Structure 1
């Protein structure tokens, strides 16, 4: 076979197949020998600037290039396309085994391509003024390919092997039609693999928490009490359930226990090619949950060779150690490619007592209050006459309890939860013909985390199961029934909460070209199995017997009951009593999702102003969820954790959608354009019915450098299966009881007596509601994009956003409690004891309230020309939140929460800073790389718990640096070192924070953090 006879070649790109598409019609020529040359399949990278006329590759403008010399030529050509913004196609079988010569600097396209193709048998030419094609130049110089040579003579623009080429753009999150993320009607943030590497982040939760658009209540392993080891993203401060998380553009199952969103900790950052964050409503494109936007995680595919990488990091105090080991391997073959990555990650604990900020719950010296617990290791007893006494260990008698007789629980608790992740991901693609490609993807993840909590407290007057110490209990020294006894069971040691999960994902995709249609058929399946095991808890039923009448508990040998001594000092509960009381709890959860979808897109009609692009598709999904607590949890019979009853739910969804981009008008010189985008999606849910959501967008290209864009979209969020079908679930929420304030007693209808001001957490009971309706939203956006031609590598954006959500699904115990105190409403939902102390609040999930978020996003990127000292790139990403208004009920006032903090344990929306931003600089010179980043969160207002006093949580500025070097001595060896929080800035104190006196969802307790990474390419 001659050098110019075509072998099967994979259709590949720098993005995965579902992100980049090309429609090719080819007539394959046969050589003079009459042999069948086979099929020609092209590797292609079609970036967004294809949608407008791409400049000729021989034009004067220069681009800033940084091409690594550690890549195969195919990967180097992909980098060239990314950095120049030009489309390029090339035969994969001719490039994958050629080593690229790297270079850095500002140069025109001809010079850059000449460097890339130097010392090869390849050449390039422009096709149809729209795309650069790389081909085997020997066909021009020899008589080996007379058919091609003849065509070259007749058509100087002919590229050997290609007779006709139709090009579509690059698909970006937010549309099924290919376009540039800067030229689309909605803003999209891109986080590339190099960005992830420079961040030093070892979890996606840690990475996304820094995004300016992320605020509110994202979870992570920085949340111990109230967390479960998962990580979520919360765009615009809206709940995680309002942000749709996709993997390679497809839905995956939510976390098995959380049930409201995807666990980002189940994905290893090393396997991610890029993350696209759409900051706009997209229900018309993707269906439910995309009210705030979309996080689309694009996995790696194009990797050639092998790579072994080792990461180690530690806080300056010597704790919080993190270790990541990663192995990656990729190869290409005549008809396809294969890539796999495997990684192991572990992160050590940071204990609350190891940081001054979190070492004590008594924050009076910082401007907070004393939130140490009144459940003390020694018995604290409220007698029938109202006096409160505590057991004094020194005198072995009771004395009057003082305000200083409290338990400082942070000596036991975790601030950063230790965690572990094992991850493997693999993908393979195969080209069946020049117009049909198949891809298989699969991943498996195991995650584990272990949180330490304070020893179990018992509040006999405030548990769901009645707990009264009988007057004749053998340990009761008072001879009267005791209904309010508080005691901390330090004899059991710290409670330990173990969370683990197994997440499996599979996808099979067929992509093809037929009759001008670019189509995709895919099936995906995913399942998340999660479990939570808690230790050091108390069996409430046994405790009830053990403190009850003596006749009903005479000893284990008589009636299998052990009398319990709650009246002693610390350590007075003996081993026999502990054996009778101690219990562990178990709850298992599972969530699964199966999806079959079909999408097709093509150019429809050529108008004087351009071509109409159109996409249509359908999707069928089957969702399942279940939670299975053990018997004691299901019977509300455990103290020390949240009891819950079983949950089981299932539904199926059928959806049809369409999308078009219509060029309305363009000027004679094609410099000014107006495009209209329309999308609509019809969704049919088996549990609540159907809903239709449209979206409209305008793109007004005022000049080659200036674009105006605007969107209007209707969206929805279907109530989750957990919200619909969950049974009664306990929580101990941090509520504000108006009746603890003396001035409210006898003034407010619901405050006949003053409640105990020493309590901060209250028992709440919530449950699902199968009658829930979807949340509905309307979002608006208008923005400007500036890409001046006289400053290559520069772009700036400003985008206004406005998101309104109605019929919000909520179960606000705080609202019910406040309404009961102020107006005497919800009498059946609020239970108080005979002294006026709050015992329980019941809140069922209902569609109430409205939210509205408004603000502006700013972005700027500039790659400066190369100098003798290197090349500098800068970037800025800032979000300004002007308003975050919330109305819990039609009769309730509207409150603006922008610039405030209220902990989610107090049913708050978390930290909603007015300003949040990142500024970064990257420097490169020969084999050196460096980065310097600033992360800023503006100040916040909060209310000190159990008071009406407000204070300011100060702003926070963190400096991160990293430097790396590519060694000469060992080909492919790179070492990077970095420091996060270079100036060791302590997170700002928040008096109302439930965990450790700061907001772990926004700020970081680690302090100065050092890390190093060593990688070897083979």
Structure 2
């Protein structure tokens, strides 16, 4: 029996728990059916017809990760990596999970089987930073489609975070991490309390984790200056002489700090470059903090109520180099280095200061429901879920283009001596930009499970359910960003809502003692674009007590996101290549500007997917278990952005594909007068692969116990647009994790190996430098249950060999941030005390 201490009781009262402390001496536990990810029918067998990998809390803690997002970067099913907080990004505090390289928008994230709200900073994927690490008991990863059970987004797979429910006592934890590379120091802590009684149980807690900012000049390889032509240079628009690409330094204008001269050895022309690495940060400083609670109360012999709630906050600070600008100097400007002709100025507004951005994301989640037996006929689950995520971003020292261009042309802003400009002049061209976004969801759900009839293998079961979800989204940029007059930033506001109705059914059919079938289907109706229907069929056969074979086939879908469906129409003068138009609008030039409107395409529909998998599990011996699964995913009607040039090329026949429905252009006398660009459904994406797992357990007698598991995910193909990108940069064929843990008495140790396969820009080239070879890191952890009762000390190293990624440009960064990090060796310590 758990003895409630004064400390536990006091914390419980302070948390304001819904369960009375005086009513909880114990909580009776009995063997019961469980719900596994990919099915809503509860069963005793934890393995169904779909491939599910369960990762327990012990393995998560042994990884050395201090946040959910950090741990999910290590799983092999995230074949192309996951986006993580990056300074200067439009989502600098965001962290995703992307299964199979199909994108985070095609990966469904659940918390205890219910949808997690999407992050308003992206609008189509969940921000893992809002999920508290201390709240997690285990993670279940379904590496197969599951739209027939869960609806939209479950194309690449499903990640279900199962929260702690059975803990008793009080647990405190503090930890710190020190990388060998400067910057990125980390600290973490949590407090968790669990109380149980004859009619209920409650677990609640608070946690935080933070990582310091990392500047570009702290990277071990940043020994050469960053070379940006946005220093202080001018060019002309003469295509014959090539001056449009012949960057020439503004006379006398390259003397400020971090500016330097580079002379072209062929032409002898000197240009002014800017060293952005001297001031910019690569990774933002991020702090996560949260409080959470989960409670259950036995209302009667047949009914139990449950409540889950969490509040999280993610703050970040990022620094980008001062604003670069491409502006036009008039022919008659007193500052024109070539009087009489228009020149383009590539200028860095360093005197105005660095671009600093702060973000705040506040997340609120609440889930209330009841479960029980109705009329001794059906097991029922009825509840409501509400989530609200509010995101605010503030950016300082951005440049208002029209004002800066005016000041440069009339001489108010001195381009020859930028640092000497009057502070009032600098303030007049600067702007503080903002972004205010919100994602709000309210969902009601009800399902019932009941027996159908007897079969040779047992009772056939049926589950039917109904859901209604409202989604409200807003993303409001400041008026200057929305108007497109801010240099170094852009924004397009969006906002709207929709209602989603979902009806689903699932049947478990035990055809024989050794053979069971699962049939599922789901229909969803969206108020903004239309309907979708997703069926699925699965089969599991156990020819031997130790051998299970399984397979499934199904359909899936991804609804177009609210940011795309509700984006405001924006105007821009896009440069396009079109001979007929440019002959009139810009004689003698290949390109010309035309009126372009980016619209919310009224013809946009959902993506569709077809999925197939088969494999098996063999518990070969009491100490050896093997799993292997083949999977295949094909996505059609892919939602992709169609640019102004795409539409022009299709209209004039350069690209034989038709212009997608809802988009287009108009001409008058052969000259383009308007282009409507945006998102559309077009093309296919097909990928397939094999997942293999080998798990062993060895009892070493007086030397303790050793457990090992190898998880290998190999991608066989990744085809899109007629090309197979498998093995190319950012698309490794292989990811492998090897976990090894040993325990004996008060001591334990873990050794984890993470391998990312070779990937390169051109797999057939022997000279291309954009290549990352096979990448292996080793993590070590040592644990000790100290003589102090209830205490544990863990010491560890992430990447103990101090492996660093190859340096090459990837999405504007010095290496692939999604797959790798450059922290070097990370030494950490954690102390846990239980009462």
The TM-score normalised by the length of structure 1 is 0.71
Give the deviation of 1:563 after TM superposition.
2.7
Query: Pick from 157, 170, 181: which aligns with 1:317?
Result: 181
Give the deviation of 1:776 after TM superposition.
0.3
Distance in 1 (alpha carbons) for counterparts of 2:188 and 2:745: 27
Give the deviation of 1:676 after TM superposition.
1.2
The answer as to whether partners of 1:360 and 1:408 remain within 8 angstroms in 2 is: no
Give the deviation of 1:215 after TM superposition.
2.7
The answer as to whether partners of 1:595 and 1:621 remain within 8 angstroms in 2 is: yes
The answer as to whether partners of 1:359 and 1:410 remain within 8 angstroms in 2 is: no
Which is worse superposed, 449-458 or 387-396? 387-396
Distance in 2 (alpha carbons) for counterparts of 1:450 and 1:180: 47
Structure 1 position 784 matched with structure 2 position 644: no
Q: 1:596 to 1:781 in 2, by over 3 A?
A: same
**Pairwise mapping of residues 451-466 of structure 1 onto structure 2 (< 5 A)?**
451-460=318-327
The answer as to whether partners of 1:885 and 1:895 remain within 8 angstroms in 2 is: yes
The answer as to whether partners of 2:87 and 2:317 remain within 8 angstroms in 1 is: no
Q: 1:605 to 1:223 in 2, by over 3 A?
A: farther
Q: 2:700 aligns to what? A: 866
**Cα shift readout 1:557-606 (whole Å, capped 9, x = no counterpart):** xxxxx8333x3155254323211101110010001111000111133322
Query: Pick from 586, 606, 609: which aligns with 2:454?
Result: 606
Q: 1:471 aligns to what? A: 331
Structure 1 position 418 matched with structure 2 position 285: yes
**Pairwise mapping of residues 632-781 of structure 1 onto structure 2 (< 5 A)?**
632-644=480-492, 646-666=493-513, 673-727=514-568, 767-781=599-613
The answer as to whether partners of 2:796 and 2:828 remain within 8 angstroms in 1 is: yes
Q: 1:563 aligns to what? A: 412
Distance in 1 (alpha carbons) for counterparts of 2:533 and 2:561: 18
**Cα shift readout 1:667-707 (whole Å, capped 9, x = no counterpart):** xxxxxx12111001111111122221100001011111111
Give the deviation of 1:256 after TM superposition.
1.4
Structure 1 position 933 matched with structure 2 position 725: no
Give the deviation of 1:544 after TM superposition.
3.6
Distance in 1 (alpha carbons) for counterparts of 2:69 and 2:27: 37
Distance in 1 (alpha carbons) for counterparts of 2:519 and 2:53: 22
Structure 1 position 445 matched with structure 2 position 312: yes
The answer as to whether partners of 1:222 and 1:1001 remain within 8 angstroms in 2 is: no
Q: 1:516 aligns to what? A: 377
The TM-score normalised by the length of structure 2 is 0.87
Q: 1:225 to 1:596 in 2, by over 3 A?
A: closer
**Pairwise mapping of residues 539-550 of structure 1 onto structure 2 (< 5 A)?**
539-548=400-409, 550=410
Query: Pick from 266, 274, 277: which aligns with 2:130?
Result: 266
The answer as to whether partners of 1:856 and 1:879 remain within 8 angstroms in 2 is: yes
Distance in 2 (alpha carbons) for counterparts of 1:662 and 1:411: 65
Distance in 1 (alpha carbons) for counterparts of 2:428 and 2:269: 32
Query: Pick from 997, 1000, 1005: which aligns with 2:814?
Result: 997
**Pairwise mapping of residues 490-639 of structure 1 onto structure 2 (< 5 A)?**
490-514=350-374, 515-548=376-409, 550=410, 563-565=412-414, 567-569=415-417, 571-639=419-487
Q: 1:293 aligns to what? A: 157
Distance in 1 (alpha carbons) for counterparts of 2:642 and 2:775: 30
**Pairwise mapping of residues 144-159 of structure 1 onto structure 2 (< 5 A)?**
none
Give the deviation of 1:319 after TM superposition.
2.2
Residue 506 of structure 2 aligns to a residue whose secondary structure is strand
Residue 722 of structure 1 aligns to a residue whose secondary structure is helix
Distance in 2 (alpha carbons) for counterparts of 1:491 and 1:505: 44
Q: 2:669 aligns to what? A: none
Give the deviation of 1:243 after TM superposition.
0.6
Distance in 2 (alpha carbons) for counterparts of 1:916 and 1:317: 25
**Cα shift readout 1:718-757 (whole Å, capped 9, x = no counterpart):** 1011111112579999x9x999xxxxxxxxxx999799xx
Q: 1:810 aligns to what? A: 640
Q: 1:842 to 1:866 in 2, by over 3 A?
A: farther
The answer as to whether partners of 2:775 and 2:805 remain within 8 angstroms in 1 is: yes
For structure 1, list consecutive stretches of 5 or more residues without a partner in the other structure: 4-90, 97-132, 135-166, 363-371, 461-467, 551-561, 667-672, 740-749, 756-762, 831-839, 888-893, 902-910
Q: 2:825 aligns to what? A: 1008
The answer as to whether partners of 1:708 and 1:783 remain within 8 angstroms in 2 is: yes
Q: 1:885 aligns to what? A: 719
Distance in 1 (alpha carbons) for counterparts of 2:254 and 2:478: 43
The answer as to whether partners of 1:869 and 1:925 remain within 8 angstroms in 2 is: yes
Give the deviation of 1:765 after TM superposition.
8.3
Q: 2:4 aligns to what? A: none
Q: 1:395 to 1:408 in 2, by over 3 A?
A: closer
Query: Pick from 736, 742, 766: which aligns with 1:917?
Result: 736
The answer as to whether partners of 1:283 and 1:716 remain within 8 angstroms in 2 is: yes
The answer as to whether partners of 1:700 and 1:708 remain within 8 angstroms in 2 is: yes
Distance in 1 (alpha carbons) for counterparts of 2:461 and 2:735: 37
Give the deviation of 1:93 after TM superposition.
5.3
Distance in 1 (alpha carbons) for counterparts of 2:45 and 2:455: 24
Distance in 1 (alpha carbons) for counterparts of 2:617 and 2:181: 45
Residue 189 of structure 2 aligns to a residue whose secondary structure is strand
**Cα shift readout 1:842-899 (whole Å, capped 9, x = no counterpart):** 8410101100110000112112123222210001111000000002xxxxxx010111
**Cα shift readout 1:528-574 (whole Å, capped 9, x = no counterpart):** 111121111001231243245x5xxxxxxxxxxx8333x31552543
Q: 1:949 to 1:929 in 2, by over 3 A?
A: closer
Q: 1:975 to 1:388 in 2, by over 3 A?
A: closer
Q: 1:974 aligns to what? A: 792
Q: 2:69 aligns to what? A: 205
**Pairwise mapping of residues 85-104 of structure 1 onto structure 2 (< 5 A)?**
none
Distance in 2 (alpha carbons) for counterparts of 1:855 and 1:873: 26
The answer as to whether partners of 1:308 and 1:1017 remain within 8 angstroms in 2 is: yes
**Pairwise mapping of residues 134-149 of structure 1 onto structure 2 (< 5 A)?**
none
Q: 1:700 to 1:692 in 2, by over 3 A?
A: same
Distance in 2 (alpha carbons) for counterparts of 1:530 and 1:278: 30
CA RMSD of aligned residues (A): 3.4
Q: Is the strand fraction higher in 1 or 2?
A: 2
The answer as to whether partners of 1:939 and 1:953 remain within 8 angstroms in 2 is: yes
